[in-house]
Amino acid sequence: MLRVEGVHKRYRHGPPVLAGVDLALGPGAPVVLAGGNGSGKSTLLRIVAGCAVPTAGRVTGRPAVVGYLPDRFPAQLRLPADAYLRHLARIRGVRPEPGLLDRLGFAGPRREPMARLSKGNAQKVGLAQALGAGAGLIVLDEPWAGLDAAAADTLADLLAEAAAEATVLVTDHTGRAARLRGARHLRLAGGRVGEAPPPPPAVAIVLRCPDAEQVRRRLAPAGRLEGGRLHLHAAPAESDAVLFTALQLGCSVESVGPA
């Protein structure tokens, strides 16, 4: 059992980001952490994963090997995807699992530098390195970002499989975590974490825009460009505002439906 005990985090002289977080996490079901922008979700995940040190408090029960995906996976590497995954497997002392890329629908070049990969394919490499670590703790920050619908569904299956033996903690702003059956949902607000109800399913929106890349950067950095269309997801409470802004930016709406 991994325990977060009285964890506080403050950056320099700013206000506290975390203010006495207490958590007990273990295998059995994925744990989904929600919270507003700037609430401290990524900070808490880094502390849980061992990539950051709390200002006060402690984390106990962290396993020696942690599978971690940051919110911005550093894919601008010269290594090809397969070589990168083999290298990490050697460091961790585990066998590489090339089948993970296949399950996620990886469609990029495996023997060319990762810097040439699309956002979606780079995200799949990041997920493969985290889920294939043979870790007792898997921490994924926005793992659905940039994934196509098929990969998003596969990720839900992979997380359920991993949670049978490992502690799995994820954040999600796309609404796709609502499909995780049996997941435990938490919310971070005011520097503290509490139990939360499952979120409603996300709304899937497909737009055709004169400058789709600019719209993606403004509306949904995690969105996906495909065939001249911008595919994005929004929480139900935010979908009207997203559509209004898209129309103001000159986009036409091709479809709106459940994610």
Please compute the mean of the pLDDT values over residues 56-72 and round it to a whole number: 95
Residues 124 and 227 in one domain: no
Range of the domain at 241: 203-258
Of 173, 195, 217, the domain-final residue: 195
Burial class for 240, CB neighbours closer than 10 Å (0-12, 13-18, 19+) = exposed
Q: Is the pTM of this model over 0.85?
A: no
Residues 227 and 176 in one domain: no
Task: Pick the range with the lowest mean pLDDT from 14-18, 145-149, 193-197.
Answer: 145-149
237, pLDDT greater than 80: no
Strand boundaries in 15-153, DSSP class E: 16-25, 31-34, 56-60, 66-69, 137-140
Q: Are 175 and 129 in contact (CB under 8 A)?
A: no
- Assign residue 18 the CATH number of its domain: 3.40.50.300
Residues 127 and 234 in one domain: no
Across-strand partners of 137? 66, 167
Residues 190 and 225 in one domain: no
112, pLDDT greater than 80: yes
Q: Grade residue 7 by pLDDT with cuts at 50, 70 and 90.
A: very high
Count of domains forming the chain: 2
Residues 190 and 210 in one domain: no
Residues 20 and 51 in one domain: yes
Give tens-digit pLDDT for 127-172. Answer: 999 999 889 999 999 999 888 878 988 999 999 999 999 999 999 9
